[in-house]
Chain A
Amino acid sequence: MVLVTAALLYLSLFGLHIGSMNIKGADEMRFGIDIRGGVEATYTPKDLGRAPTAEELESAKTIIETRMDAENITDREVTIDSTNGAVIVRFPWKSDEADFDPQQAISELGETALLTFKDPDGNVVLQGSDVSKSYASLDKNTGSYVVILELSSAGTKKFAEATSRLVGKDISIYMDENEISSPTVHQAITDGSAMITNQKDLETAKNLAAKINSGSLPFSMVAHDANIISPTLGMDALNIMVLAGKIAFALVCVFMLLYYRLPGFVACIALLLQVVGQLLALSIPQFTLTLPGIAGVILSIGMGVDANVIVSERIKEELNAGKTLRSAIDAGFHRAFSSVFDGNVTVIIVSIVLIILGSGSMLSFGYTLLCGVLMNFLAGVTASRLMIRSLSEFKGLQKPVLFGARRMAE
C-alpha cells in the first residue's frame, strides 16, 4: 500500500513534469486567438445571388491558402463551412510582427485571384477566365495522376497559338505573384484540352486543379464576421489568468490542509493530478484552448475540490460516530461515491450537450469540462482512496486530529 502511494505520488509528479514541459514549450499547447492574439475571419462570397458550390468554395479555400503560404503563415486553420457557404480562416498574429496590418490582411486574402499563364519571357499567354474547367484525373497509360484543363473557345485559340510556339519550353502558371506550377509543353495543343502530367499523388493533383479553377471564380470573398485580437492583449490575458489560477489553487490547498489535515493533503495531490491530466488532454491532441476553455478548467477544479470535501467530511463523520480509522475511510469513500458519481454524471451530460451543439467557445468549454470531470473520477476518487488508505497504515498518522475528528476507535 505504501508502495502504491509512492507510485501514485511519483506518477503525479512525473505527470506534472511532463505537464510543465508542455506548458513551458508554449508552442506545444495550442491557444485560441483570444489568448495568444490572432485573426479569425469568416469569408462569404461578395454580391453573389446564390449559394456557392462545393467546387467554388474549394477554390476559394485554395486561393486563401496559397496566399498564406506566400506570406509564410503556416500555423493556420482554413476550413469550409458548406452549410453556410463560407470559408473560415484562423491564424495567429505573432508579437514580433509589429507592422503587420490584420485588417489589410483579411481584405487581401479574400480578393479575386489573378491567374495567369506566362511564357518564359514573362508574356501572359492565357488568363484564368480562359480555363472553363480543371480537374484531377488518373492517366491510365502511365498510371500517374494528372490535371486536366478544359479551355473556353477563346482560350483554345490563344493556347493553340502559344503551345505551337513554345514546344519544349515551359509555361508557368501564376496565382497573383506566386508560381503554382510550371509544366513543359510537349506538343501544340489545339483541341482546347490540356493535361499537366506527373503529379505526385491524387492530393497534389486535386490541389493544383482547385488552384487553376480559382482563376475563373466569379466572385471575391469578403469577411463580415471577423475577429482580431492583438498579441499583447491576448498574451497579457493569459499570463494574468495563469497567475490568478496559481494563487487561487494555492489558497484552496491551504484551506484544504488547514480544514481537513491529512485527507486535505491527499486532496491537494489529487487535484494536482487532475489538473495535470487535464492539461495533457489539451496539449496531446492539440486541442485549442480558449478563455472559455479555462473557465471549464476552473469549474472542474471546483468539482474536484467538492469530491474531496465530500469524502473528507464523510470520513470525519464516521470517525466521530465511533468507527475505526480503516472502516471510517472505507465507509467514507463508499458513502461519498454515489453523490460524487451522480454529480459528475450530470456535469458530463451538460458538457456533451455543449460539445455537440456548441462551436468555438462553447465547444472549448465543454471539452475541458468533460476531460476535467473524467480526470476527477480517476484522481479525486480512485487515486485519493489509494493514497489515503496507504497513508493510514502508518502508525504515526493514525491520530484523530489529523482527520479533523474528535475521536478514533482502536
Chain B
Amino acid sequence: MKVINFFKNRYIYFGISSLIIITGIILAFAYGIKLDIQFQGGTLLKYTYVGDINTEEAAALVENVLGKETNCQEQTTVATNEQTLVVSLADNESITSQEQETVTDTLTAAYPDAQLDLAASQSVEPYTGARFFRNGILAILISFVLILLYVGYRFRKIGGISAGVMAIVALFHDAFVVAAVFIVFQIPLNDSFIAAVLTIIGFSINDTIVIYDRIRENKTLMGPKTSTEELVNTSITQSMSRSINTSVAVFVSITIVYIFAQIYNIESIKDFALPMMFGTVSGCYSTICIAGPLWTMWKNHEAKTNLKKA
C-alpha cells in the first residue's frame, strides 16, 4: 500500500480549516448568533390553518391584546401542503397559558374561516432557558476535560498529554464546524445544537482514537528508529479505508434522515441532521488532516528541544 504523506501537506489542511473557522467567525459577527427560545426564553405558538392570513395584520391583532411586540410568519410543509402560522413574541418574554388562550381566542375570532388549530406551543422563562444552556455548555466542557484525561492515560506510550491535547484541538475544530453550520444556515442555537455537538464529539474522538491506536501499535512494530512523520503517515494510511467507510455509512444514514425531515418539515430533526452531515465530514477530516499532523509537529518540536538540551 502506498503511504500517503499527510504531514507534507499539513499547511494546506491547516489553511482550509483556518479559512472555514475565520469565515464562521466573520459570519457570526455579520448575522449575529441567535439563541432559540429554549435557551433565551420566549414564546412561540404554531397553528395550522387553511386559506389566507395576512401575517402583519395577525401580528397587529395579537400585539393589541397582549401589549407585547409580536411577529407572525407563515410556513408551508412540502409533503402535505399544510400551512402553519407561527406567532412569536419579539422580546424574550414568556407568557402564561391564560395569555396563550387569549391569543388563540383572538385569532380564532378574527379568522373564523381559517380553521385555526393549535399544533404546538412553547413558552420558556428566560432564566430556565439560561440554565439549560449553561448545563449544555458545561456538559460539553466537562466531556472535553474527561476525554483529555482518558486519552492522556490510555495513550501514555505515545506521549499521553500531547495526544490528548491534539484530540481536543480536533474536537474544538469539529464543534466549531457544527456551530458554523448553525450560523450559516441561521438556525437558532437550541438543544439540537448541544445534541449535534455531542454526537460529533463522540464520532470524532472515536475516529481519532482509532488512528492513535494504530500509531501506538505501529510504534512497537516499526521500531524506535522510524521518524514520527513516517509513523503517523503510515498509521493514517492504514486506517484510511476504515475512516472513510465508517464516515460514508454515517453520512448516508444521516442524509436520509435529513431528506425525510426536510420533506415533512420536522424542524427538530432538520436542525439536528443538517449540522450532523457537516460534522461527520469534519470529524473524519479533522482526525486525518489535523490531529495527526499537529501531533507530529509537537513530537518533532519536542525532539528538537531535547536535542538542544543534550
Binds B, one of A139-147, A183-191, A300-308: A300-308
Interface SS of chain A: helix, strand, loop or mixed? helix
Interface SS of chain B: helix, strand, loop or mixed? helix
Query: Is there an interface contact between A299 and B260, defined as CB atoms closer than 8 Å?
Result: no
Note all chain A residues with C-beta closer than 8 A to B248.
255
Distance of B219 from chain A, by nearest CB (Å): 13
Distance of A74 from chain B, by nearest CB (Å): 22
Query: Is there an interface contact between A349 and B147, defined as CB atoms closer than 8 Å?
Result: yes
Q: How far is the CA of A169 from the CA of B79 in the complex (A)?
A: 65
| A3 in the interface (beta carbon within 8 A) | no
Query: Is there an interface contact between B104 and A292, defined as CB atoms closer than 8 Å?
Result: no
Minimal Cβ-Cβ distance residue in A for B100: A103
Minimal Cβ-Cβ distance residue in B for A357: B139
Q: Given A228-B118, A229-B120, verify A343-B257 contact (CB < 8 Å).
A: no
Binds A, one of B62-70, B200-208, B222-230: B200-208
Note all chain B residues with C-beta closer than 8 A to A305.
246, 249-250
Minimal Cβ-Cβ distance residue in B for A365: B195
| A202 in the interface (beta carbon within 8 A) | no
Q: How far is the CA of A241 from the CA of B261 in the complex (A)?
A: 8
Note all chain B residues with C-beta closer than 8 A to A359.
132, 135
Q: How far is the CA of A407 from the CA of B150 in the complex (A)?
A: 39
Note all chain B residues with C-beta closer than 8 A to A358.
135-136, 139
Note all chain A residues with C-beta closer than 8 A to B201.
350
Q: Looking at the complex, which one of B98, B122, B199 makes contact with A299 (CB distance below 8 Å)?
A: B199
Distance of A55 from chain B, by nearest CB (Å): 24
Q: Given A299-B203, A358-B135, A359-B135, verify A222-B194 contact (CB < 8 Å).
A: no
Q: Given A226-B97, A361-B195, A365-B195, verify A343-B205 contact (CB < 8 Å).
A: yes
Minimal Cβ-Cβ distance residue in A for B154: A342
Note all chain A residues with C-beta closer than 8 A to B278.
none
Q: Looking at the complex, which one of A34, A101, A338 makes contact with B213 (CB distance below 8 Å)?
A: A338
Query: Is there an interface contact between B266 and A313, defined as CB atoms closer than 8 Å?
Result: no
Q: How far is the CA of A109 from the CA of B249 in the complex (A)?
A: 48
| B72 in the interface (beta carbon within 8 A) | no
Note all chain B residues with C-beta closer than 8 A to A232.
119
Q: Which of A208-226 contact B (CB under 8 A)?
A: 222-226
Q: How far is the CA of A385 from the CA of B217 in the complex (A)?
A: 21
| A322 in the interface (beta carbon within 8 A) | no
Binds B, one of A123-131, A154-162, A170-178, A244-252: A244-252
Minimal Cβ-Cβ distance residue in A for B151: A346
Query: Is there an interface contact between B249 and A302, defined as CB atoms closer than 8 Å?
Result: yes
| B256 in the interface (beta carbon within 8 A) | yes
Interface residues on A, range: 35 or more
Q: How far is the CA of A299 from the CA of B252 in the complex (A)?
A: 13
Note all chain B residues with C-beta closer than 8 A to A302.
203, 246, 249-250, 253
Note all chain A residues with C-beta closer than 8 A to B104.
103
Q: How far is the CA of A349 from the CA of B253 in the complex (A)?
A: 25
| B281 in the interface (beta carbon within 8 A) | no
Q: Looking at the complex, which one of B96, B117, B198 makes contact with A107 (CB distance below 8 Å)?
A: B96
Q: How far is the CA of A338 from the CA of B206 in the complex (A)?
A: 12
Note all chain A residues with C-beta closer than 8 A to B199.
295, 298-299
| A53 in the interface (beta carbon within 8 A) | no
Q: Given A236-B264, A241-B269, verify A223-B97 contact (CB < 8 Å).
A: yes
Query: Is there an interface contact between A240 and B266, defined as CB atoms closer than 8 Å?
Result: yes
Note all chain B residues with C-beta closer than 8 A to A343.
205-206, 209-210
Q: How far is the CA of A182 from the CA of B57 in the complex (A)?
A: 54
Note all chain A residues with C-beta closer than 8 A to B136.
358, 362
| A335 in the interface (beta carbon within 8 A) | yes
Distance of B11 from chain A, by nearest CB (Å): 28
Q: Mark A95-119, 1 if CB is under 8 A from B, else 0.
A: 0000001111011001000000000
17 sampled A-B residue pairs with Cβ under 8 A: A102-B118, A103-B121, A104-B97, A225-B123, A237-B266, A237-B269, A240-B260, A241-B269, A255-B248, A255-B249, A291-B268, A292-B195, A309-B242, A350-B202, A353-B146, A357-B142, A359-B132
Interface residues of A (CB under 8 A from B): 34, 41-42, 101-104, 106-107, 110, 222-230, 232-233, 236-237, 240-241, 243-245, 247-249, 251-252, 255-256, 259, 291-292, 295, 298-299, 301-303, 305-306, 309-310, 313, 317, 335, 338-339, 342-347, 349-350, 353-354, 357-362, 365, 369
Other than the given A298-B254, A357-B139, 12 more pairs (CB < 8 A) read A42-B128, A102-B121, A225-B94, A227-B123, A228-B121, A229-B119, A230-B119, A291-B268, A309-B245, A342-B150, A359-B132, A359-B135
